[in-house]
């Protein structure tokens, strides 16, 4: 007869215990029942910040859907918390009145956010940041209010602040200490972090002690002990967590700060176990997920009656998941009188590394800006490896250590099987290898599905791919061969080749010829196939507007309140009174909420209702203004400076060249957005070296740069070459764009594309092969032959004065070029 196992708490630690138990005891000797306080299945709390930022939806962070519980014979009572543990009769009672007996009980009640005991803490608009309900309330406030204050400059507070800023709120972070994340960072790293977040738009008030939260029914601000007052529509308290032990205490289970457990995760009642943030083990309470998963594995070991598992505590590490910031911290990063610090600092590159060495071993680490060796340092620290022989080059990472440091091997291969690869889900290298070999996995998506490694924040994706590649060798499904989506096994390149070789001209033909599993496709494959069709067969394939993103369909950027922004094109930033008057008239006529100047030298009209967009564009078109494609997978902007026309440092006429480039390339649909810039001198005021195609003036002519990106992951351009004339600039630009359009995959920016194919490949096609370059440029000029808007007379005349006609994309195969030209 099966024993009854009851789990109190449907969170990450408790459910991980059940998952580990199922691995060890697949015969299912337990009848398992789970009681959860929240009305949801198990979800990943680590990813609440991306949900708050609008980058993911709640469904994206579900770890175990209802089917998982059913498939494993687990009874789930969600939204029904346990209110009583009757230890005498071995039963639990829930809020709804359910009474359930148990043979073994697991308490995994987690923690509660600590709310400062100050006046006003109970006002509407004062929230913690702990569960999806908190996130939903924050999003509701963000949709109708503007100012947010986050109290607490730790890991959780900064993630909340960054996410609220992405929702359009003005965010101030209030912190009692004089540096951010003092539990994870030393002062130099904290200063770098603060500077970086300030550049993103966050405001910081350090060494501030909150006295009270003001307001009558809902919050209006906070007041500090020094008398300063700060307005606020939303206050988030992220000052720490407290183990949720109320139920355990009222049941007579011995507690101090948390529920006291032994190394077998048993409480003082041998039939009751406890895991997670509610636990106190050897005087330590853990708030990071990795230790909780280690506890889960030990607890499952004893529930399966194996009896050899022991939890002896955890060495922890932290990685900040604020967009664009690479940060790693572990161990005793501050050091002490008996330790040595090895430090590398490059402020210009935004890199800081510190290793704390004690008795010939790594005792702590802080990495900022370059965290690639964080997992390796953490492994060395956990295993207590003597690094004395590696010390001279240790700070430069594995790649610089030679044979003694496995420098010839990839990072993942030097890791032991019990080294943790995925911190979010507690997955070790050995777990991944076992899943690959026993289940026959060959792709990253398969590994994600079976192990959950790389399925959360994604920071370990590179390591997982290395493990895949080394384990399955030539059978590894590399990015080049990954399916375009779940509807098919064909990759982007294979789909594109089939469209050309089989002369497929519509989506239905593609789905039929390639035996698509979903006959209508999906939101992932349809936009890509639509691009490949219209770029390959522009004369025959019909652009399917419903396969485009909404921003492209309506020529406007959707905003968080559901309205749209409209951005007419301003050639090179040069405008006329007539154009400005037309924009002003449109703003008044269509009740524009706000007008601002963009970083791309254009005028942005915000707050336009969707139903007004067709009439507004017709109004602007009649006055000679066309779309700036701020929404499109196309040319966005060509940023310029005033160059030699006005600037005393200018060496060339950057404005005229920038306008000519913009008029040449405008209207070209591409795999992704495309930005250019022309700087009039090496001072580079137009920031040409972080654009997809950048031009920098020098005394002898122009430098051409490619593959830059100034977004979340900044990438400086690679210099392609130097040329002496504007005509060469135009030809080389046309050739580069055309080869990018022909070879890149849909939604692949030039930066990762150049890294993938290699700079040498681009140079061979454009620099080393003059005839090939001219052929690419010719195909580009041919591709600009179909008009996109009606009001073209003046624009075409202006463009032709520079020798170019701005028209729509064509990307016919080489063998069809003469036929297209003749037509």
Q: Please tell me the distance from the alpha carbon of residue 633 to that of residue 747, in angstroms, as a whole number.
A: 8
Q: Does the annotation place 457 within a ligand binding site? A: no
pLDDT number for residue 800:
40
* 3-class secondary structure, 69: helix
Q: Please answer whether residues 315 and 331 qualify as being in contact, where contact means their C-beta atoms are separated by less than 8 angstroms.
A: yes
Q: Please answer whether residues 510 and 533 qualify as being in contact, where contact means their C-beta atoms are separated by less than 8 angstroms.
A: yes
Sheet holding 317-319, edge to edge: 317-319, 327-331, 361-368, 351-358, 340-346
Q: Please tell me the distance from the alpha carbon of residue 680 to that of residue 778, in angstroms, as a whole number.
A: 27
Q: Please answer whether residues 158 and 318 qualify as being in contact, where contact means their C-beta atoms are separated by less than 8 angstroms.
A: no
CA distances from 804 to 553, 646, 661 (A): 26, 26, 9
Q: Please tell me the distance from the alpha carbon of residue 28 to that of residue 42, in angstroms, as a whole number.
A: 20
Do β-strands 219-224 and 229-231 pair in parallel, antiparallel, or remain unpaired? antiparallel
Q: Which of 257, 168, 260 is nearest to 559 (CA)?
A: 168
pLDDT number for residue 18:
95
pLDDT number for residue 378:
86
Question: Interior CA angle at 614 toward 584 and 539, to 5°?
Answer: 125
Alpha-carbon torsion 398, 400, 403, 409, what sign?
positive
- Residue 267: phi and psi, rounded to 5, are -80, -175
Contacts of 801 (CB under 8 A, 6+ apart): none
Q: Please answer whether residues 647 and 681 qualify as being in contact, where contact means their C-beta atoms are separated by less than 8 angstroms.
A: yes
Alpha-carbon torsion 41, 42, 47, 49, what sign?
positive
pLDDT number for residue 475:
46
Contacts of 130 (CB under 8 A, 6+ apart): 45, 111, 112, 113, 241
Pick out the chain residues at pLDDT < 70.
26-28, 320-324, 399-414, 424, 456-459, 462, 473-482, 550, 559-560, 599-601, 711-713, 784-823
* 3-class secondary structure, 237: strand
pLDDT number for residue 116:
94
Q: Please tell me the distance from the alpha carbon of residue 179 to that of residue 194, in angstroms, as a whole number.
A: 8
Q: Output the six-digit token pair for 630.
A: 């701020």
pLDDT number for residue 172:
97
Q: Please tell me the distance from the alpha carbon of residue 346 to that of residue 343, in angstroms, as a whole number.
A: 10
Q: Output the six-digit token pair for 87.
A: 């230890």
CA distances from 391 to 175, 236, 342 (A): 37, 44, 9
Q: Does the annotation place 641 within a ligand binding site? A: yes
Q: Please tell me the distance from the alpha carbon of residue 823 to that of residue 818, in angstroms, as a whole number.
A: 9
Q: Does the annotation place 681 within a ligand binding site? A: yes
604-620 confidence digits (pLDDT tens): 888 888 888 888 888 88
- The DSSP bridge partners found for residue 101 are 91
Q: Please tell me the distance from the alpha carbon of residue 603 to that of residue 489, in angstroms, as a whole number.
A: 44
pLDDT number for residue 384:
87
Q: Please tell me the distance from the alpha carbon of residue 474 to that of residue 132, in angstroms, as a whole number.
A: 42
Q: Residue 221 burial by CB count (10 A; 0-12/13-18/19+): exposed, middle or buried?
A: middle
Q: Does the annotation place 460 within a ligand binding site? A: no
Q: Output the six-digit token pair for 365.
A: 């680490």
* 3-class secondary structure, 597: strand
pLDDT number for residue 489:
83
- Residue 147: phi and psi, rounded to 5, are -110, 125
Q: Please answer whether residues 343 and 366 qualify as being in contact, where contact means their C-beta atoms are separated by less than 8 angstroms.
A: no
* 3-class secondary structure, 60: helix
- Residue 361: phi and psi, rounded to 5, are -135, 155
Q: Output the six-digit token pair for 375.
A: 């997992």
Q: Please answer whether residues 34 and 7 qualify as being in contact, where contact means their C-beta atoms are separated by less than 8 angstroms.
A: yes
pLDDT number for residue 414:
65
CA distances from 210 to 181, 191, 230, 446, 569 (A): 18, 22, 10, 49, 48
Q: Please tell me the distance from the alpha carbon of residue 385 to that of residue 664, in angstroms, as a whole number.
A: 60
pLDDT number for residue 407:
38
pLDDT number for residue 770:
92
């Amino acid at each position: 007869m099966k024993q009854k196992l009851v789990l109190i708490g449907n969170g990450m630690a408790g459910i991980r215990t059940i998952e580990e138990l199922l691995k060890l005891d697949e015969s299912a000797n337990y009848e398992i029942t789970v009681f959860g306080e929240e009305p949801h299945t198990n979800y990943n709390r680590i990813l609440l910040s991306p949900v708050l930022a609008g980058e993911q939806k709640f469904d994206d962070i579900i770890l175990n859907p209802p089917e998982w519980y059913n498939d494993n014979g687990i009874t789930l009572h969600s939204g029904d918390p346990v209110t009583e543990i009757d230890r005498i009769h071995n039963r639990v009672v829930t809020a709804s009145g359910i009474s359930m007996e148990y043979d073994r009980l697991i308490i995994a009640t987690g923690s509660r956010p600590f709310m400062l005991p100050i006046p006003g803490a109970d006002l509407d608009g004062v929230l913690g940041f702990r569960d999806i309900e908190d996130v939903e309330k924050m999003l509701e406030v963000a949709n109708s209010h503007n100012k947010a204050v986050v109290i607490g400059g730790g890991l959780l507070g900064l993630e909340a602040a960054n996410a609220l800023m992405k929702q359009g709120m003005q965010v101030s972070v209030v912190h009692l200490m004089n540096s951010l994340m003092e539990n994870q960072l030393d002062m130099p790293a904290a200063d770098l972090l603060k500077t970086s977040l300030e550049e993103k738009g966050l405001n910081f008030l350090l060494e501030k002690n909150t006295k009270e939260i003001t307001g009558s029914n809902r919050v209006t601000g906070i007041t500090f002990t020094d008398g300063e007052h700060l307005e606020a529509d939303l206050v988030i308290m992220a000052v720490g967590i407290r183990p949720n032990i109320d139920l355990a205490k009222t049941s007579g289970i011995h507690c101090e700060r948390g529920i006291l457990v032994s190394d077998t995760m048993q409480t003082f009642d041998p039939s009751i176990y406890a895991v997670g943030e509610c636990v106190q083990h050897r005087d330590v309470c853990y708030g990071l997920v990795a230790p909780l998963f280690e506890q889960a594995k030990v607890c499952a070991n004893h529930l399966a009656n194996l009896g050899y598992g022991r939890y002896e505590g955890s060495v922890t590490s932290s990685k900040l998941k604020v967009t664009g910031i690479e940060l790693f911290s572990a161990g005793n990063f501050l050091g002490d009188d008996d330790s040595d610090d090895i430090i590398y600092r490059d402020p210009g590159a935004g890199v800081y590394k510190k290793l704390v060495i004690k008795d010939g071993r790594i005792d702590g680490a802080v990495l900022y800006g370059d965290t690639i060796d964080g997992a390796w340092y953490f492994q060395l620290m956990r295993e207590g490896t003597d690094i004395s022989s590696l010390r001279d080059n240790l700070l430069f990472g594995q790649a610089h250590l030679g044979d003694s440091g496995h420098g010839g091997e990839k990072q993942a291969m030097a890791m032991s099987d019990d080294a943790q690869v995925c911190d979010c889900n507690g997955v070790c290298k050995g777990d991944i290898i076992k899943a690959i070999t026993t289940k026959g996995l060959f792709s990253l998506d398969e590994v994600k599905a079976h192990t959950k490694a790389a399925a959360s924040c994604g920071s370990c994706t590179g390591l997982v791919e290395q493990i895949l590649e080394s384990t399955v060798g030539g059978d590894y499904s590399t990015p080049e061969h990954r399916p375009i989506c779940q509807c098919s096994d064909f990759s982007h390149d294979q789909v594109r080749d089939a469209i050309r070789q089989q002369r497929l001209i519509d989506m239905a033909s593609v789905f039929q010829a390639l035996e698509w599993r979903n006959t209508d496709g999906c939101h992932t494959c349809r936009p890509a196939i639509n691009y490949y069709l219209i770029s390959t067969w522009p004369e025959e394939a019909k652009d399917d507007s419903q396969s485009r993103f909404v921003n492209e369909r309506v020529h406007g950027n959707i905003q968080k309140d559901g309205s749209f922004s409209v951005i007419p094109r301003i050639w090179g930033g040069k405008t006329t009174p007539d154009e400005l008057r037309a924009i002003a008239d449109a703003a008044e006529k269509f009740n524009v909420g706000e007008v601002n100047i963009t970083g791309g030298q254009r005028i942005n009209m915000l707050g336009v209702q969707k139903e007004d967009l067709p009439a507004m564009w017709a109004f602007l078109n009649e006055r000679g203004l066309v779309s700036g494609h701020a929404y499109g997978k196309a040319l966005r902007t060509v940023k310029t400076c005033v160059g030699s026309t006005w600037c005393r440092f200018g060496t060339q006429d950057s404005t005229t060249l920038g306008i000519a480039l913009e008029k040449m390339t405008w209207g070209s649909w591409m795999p992704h957005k495309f930005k250019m810039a022309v700087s009039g001198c090496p001072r580079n005021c137009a920031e040409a070296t972080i654009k997809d195609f950048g031009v920098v003036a020098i005394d002898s002519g122009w430098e051409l740069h490619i593959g830059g990106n100034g977004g979340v992951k900044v990438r400086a351009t690679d210099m392609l070459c130097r040329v002496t004339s504007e005509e060469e600039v135009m030809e080389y630009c046309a050739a580069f764009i055309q080869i990018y359009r022909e070879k890149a995959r849909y939604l692949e920016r030039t930066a990762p594309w150049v890294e993938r194919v290699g700079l040498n490949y681009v140079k061979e096609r454009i620099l080393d092969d003059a005839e090939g370059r001219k052929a690419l440029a010719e195909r580009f000029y041919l591709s600009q032959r179909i008009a996109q808007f009606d009001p073209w007379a003046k624009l075409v005349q202006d463009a032709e004065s520079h020798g170019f006609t701005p028209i729509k994309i064509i990307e016919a195969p080489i063998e069809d070029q003469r036929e297209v030209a003749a037509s």
